[in-house]
Structure 1
């Protein structure tokens, strides 16, 4: 059964949102997010009553002269997310988020994933500059240990090029890229949204000497913060409107949720609206939006404005050339922003709250810091950070157009790129390694666009200058409705097939993805 057959069947059965889609797509907040919000059935905790948890850093099993070796087991687990409830999750090593991996630039990392879940998985290192066979192509499935490969399971497109394995798989990451905040998550075709929603996501940080020399906040003052939204059933389990709750056969979500699934609970590192007690000093916040569809507009509120705002030092692909001050920042699914907040001017007991100005009700709040005594702080934030190699528009050998919009998917309204639904046997572009190209993205509605393998530089939006937060190396770009953006991109090192797609995960699962092949 092909993807088109699946959607045609779903339409005939009336299970994929015909009424919701036909009625028109709705926006959340002030039209920055496309999606429909679930309402939890359980009493929710008051914000800022539960302590932040920082994901544990995973130690390598062994090391040799040039490689660190890690092992992660994907398995079902119970998580204490809401007070008084145990929530079943899909996990990396039993936690949500999964453990944090740290790679030194230029030192090879090998991660062995063992699948003890009841479903196939694919691991994608988001932002990773890696060979195609370790990138997490959506059909490169890792079947559960002890299974008989499930190769004929309904709903999956047949892919003669797929590299499938059973039980365990080694993902090899050369780490030949600058220091950056990356993350890893499930990327299985048709089911990424459900898998990530149920817990398959974690941080992977790249560090290097150039970053160390800057004396940025470090140690316990370097906080990875994974921001997600979720909704919960009356028994504390995660609520997700999947057509197939078993995540095996029928892709997609019900009704209006084809627009994108939003939760009514904001989690940071798996904790609802956490509070974190800190010293009066500078802190580095590695902000990651790992939500399925929600866009956040983050803003800091402190008594007397004593904490100031955000000082952005990094983007998706690493540090910026120069630090920049921001009063607020928009962060779309898949994006990362490294910022520094200076709490040294705060008084002991000050409560500093991170708001989401695109939310409403409790989703308008994210987390809170409570400031203690002022502490010794050897850190600094220099104006000049790291040099960045600029991609010259004049050096581009060609321009490619990628149009993201609603379109026909098996006889129904779905999500397409250049009018086509994702198909494993179709290649949308064949860029040559080492050549600079201009990629022009256009949209009908809001779409966060993610490109695998290499980061890009944003050249323009609607013919004008990029946004302030577009600086540096990006791999995910949030486009507003009817917007057109141009980016310069140069693929290097690794020939093979990769994908670009919308990182609204319901859009991705409902066909807004395409394959490109890099060639020598």
Structure 2
């Protein structure tokens, strides 16, 4: 099948490689976007206000680091296709679960003296501190400010192997402009599915947001689990923070990204992985970097940075400019992940080609939500993150929120629609926890008691090990049920998640 034929099979309006306008003019003479340069994922765009797509997760073999591995993927791609919409559009997405049937759990009772099989596994789907039913799935539209009810961003839906479900997601006319993503969110299978490739980007923007001549790169960073257990069905592999992970960018192992000296490109960075943090140093890549948006919210003013930290689930929209000619390593910088040291890892190369191109292009300015003021806060809450020993959990370790592992029948917090609250997460563990709140973004107010004057907007932000995070959120437009959880997905599947209900 040709590349074009493969794309047409995805449905909708599809474009490959570079996106944006006047692509040929932007790339002519630079050798970019062709052989040897990292291409964007396949793309499906809305037409006449509606995006129509089919996402089909399968378990199939793929070459990652030149070795064949079995991956769970959407539409046979790594990552899945990018979905591009405008504010006010609707998404009609058919999720067809083509993963194989779930095997019946057969625990090794010798590892759990004094416990029965039912004690360990419970009825199907009832274990909330350990992975289970790894081929059961659904969809979450991470960062979108949309309804959590019905066929929209409803993470309580269940789509079993062999079943299909039609999602209908209405994007508000006033939706923020930026980068978002989709991934599975069925509790018990999330770490296994995202850790083996099930993720894709969502872009929401007005028509003229990216100016002609500013090449756009969608860079989806994933860390598929690299072990001999290639089917990724061994919880001791995908739940282990020390198991080897293989970094890919748009499904490519250590690719090359090209630009000319003085040229600007618009990079949409997404860390769509299960657990590893990804600090990046732009100066070491020979680049100047100007951040224009984070987690789907535009900045009020562009900010030049030398480096940034991507936590699992984060997106950063950044305009980069080639400064130093040469071939530079893109390195995931070392990071202290609680009791685990993440080493420096070369994940790609950046080739800044000599030249005299001069560009000052930037994306169009977009609205940022107003700050949440003291007067808006109707309630302040404290949420405690912890851990406990539990013999049903992998490695006997379960995670908790307010002393309790996830219970699907308990709603921890019940804010009212049209109000704003301040929450302080208190981390009593030795691990950092990037906490993600569905549906509504939040402002970071303080970290470990130190105020953050700029109060940036995020939907996923790290609570330091043995530290605190104070944030504020408005509960606007949508009532209903959703969840808040750690986006280190082995922690989520081991219980660090709670239900939230927005009361009308």
**TM class by shorter-chain length?**
0.7 to 0.9
- The Cα shift of 1:264 comes to 4.2
Name 1:226's counterpart in structure 2.
220
Name 1:126's counterpart in structure 2.
142
Corresponding residue SS for 2:490 = helix
Change (3 A) 1:201 1:387: closer
| Structure 2 unmatched runs, 5+ | 1-34, 101-134, 336-340
Preserved contact between residue 210 and residue 386 of structure 1 (Cα < 8 Å):
no
Corresponding residue SS for 1:506 = helix
Preserved contact between residue 264 and residue 362 of structure 1 (Cα < 8 Å):
no
Question: Structure 1 residue aligned with 2:439, among 436, 453, 456?
Answer: 453
Name 2:400's counterpart in structure 1.
416
Name 1:97's counterpart in structure 2.
79
Equivalent residue runs for 1:67-82 within 5 Å: 67-82=50-65
Name 1:312's counterpart in structure 2.
291
Corresponding residue SS for 1:432 = coil
Structure 1 stretch 443-452 or stretch 458-467: which is displaced more? Answer: 458-467
Equivalent residue runs for 1:342-361 within 5 Å: 342-343=321-322, 345-347=323-325, 350-358=326-334
| Structure 1 unmatched runs, 5+ | 1-48, 146-165, 246-252
Distance in 2 separating the partners of 1:399 and 1:361: 35
Distance in 1 separating the partners of 2:397 and 2:57: 34
Change (3 A) 1:382 1:233: closer
Structure 1 stretch 196-205 or stretch 354-363: which is displaced more? Answer: 354-363
- The Cα shift of 1:169 comes to 2.4
Are 1:366 and 2:364 matched, yes or no? Answer: no
Work out which structure has the larger RCO, using CA pairs closer than 8 Å and 6 or more positions apart in sequence: 1
Preserved contact between residue 265 and residue 363 of structure 1 (Cα < 8 Å):
no
Preserved contact between residue 388 and residue 397 of structure 2 (Cα < 8 Å):
yes
Q: Deviations over 1:271-307 (max 9, x none)?
A: 12211222331011111112211112110245xx853
Name 1:28's counterpart in structure 2.
none
Structure 1 stretch 446-455 or stretch 66-75: which is displaced more? Answer: 66-75
Preserved contact between residue 260 and residue 292 of structure 1 (Cα < 8 Å):
no
Corresponding residue SS for 1:142 = coil
Distance in 2 separating the partners of 1:318 and 1:475: 9
Distance in 2 separating the partners of 1:362 and 1:379: 35
Change (3 A) 1:184 1:377: farther
Preserved contact between residue 227 and residue 243 of structure 2 (Cα < 8 Å):
no
- The Cα shift of 1:440 comes to 1.1
Q: Deviations over 1:166-213 (max 9, x none)?
A: 32322424254111110111111111000111211111111125845x
- The Cα shift of 1:67 comes to 2.5
Question: Structure 1 residue aligned with 2:188, among 187, 190, 193?
Answer: 190
Distance in 1 separating the partners of 2:360 and 2:442: 30
Name 1:428's counterpart in structure 2.
412
- The Cα shift of 1:387 comes to 4.1
Name 1:283's counterpart in structure 2.
265
Name 1:334's counterpart in structure 2.
313
Question: Structure 2 residue aligned with 1:271, among 232, 241, 252?
Answer: 252
Are 1:254 and 2:236 matched, yes or no? Answer: yes
Preserved contact between residue 267 and residue 366 of structure 1 (Cα < 8 Å):
yes
Q: Deviations over 1:327-386 (max 9, x none)?
A: 11111111111111111x444xx2233222216898422221212354766652489764
What is the TM-score when the length of structure 2 is the normalising length?
Answer: 0.77
Name 2:369's counterpart in structure 1.
388
Q: Deviations over 1:429-473 (max 9, x none)?
A: 1111110111111112310100001100111112212287xx532
Change (3 A) 1:56 1:373: farther
Distance in 1 separating the partners of 2:296 and 2:489: 21
Question: Structure 2 residue aligned with 1:109, among 45, 68, 91?
Answer: 91
- The Cα shift of 1:259 comes to 5.7
Distance in 1 separating the partners of 2:474 and 2:465: 26
Change (3 A) 1:225 1:263: farther
Name 1:168's counterpart in structure 2.
165
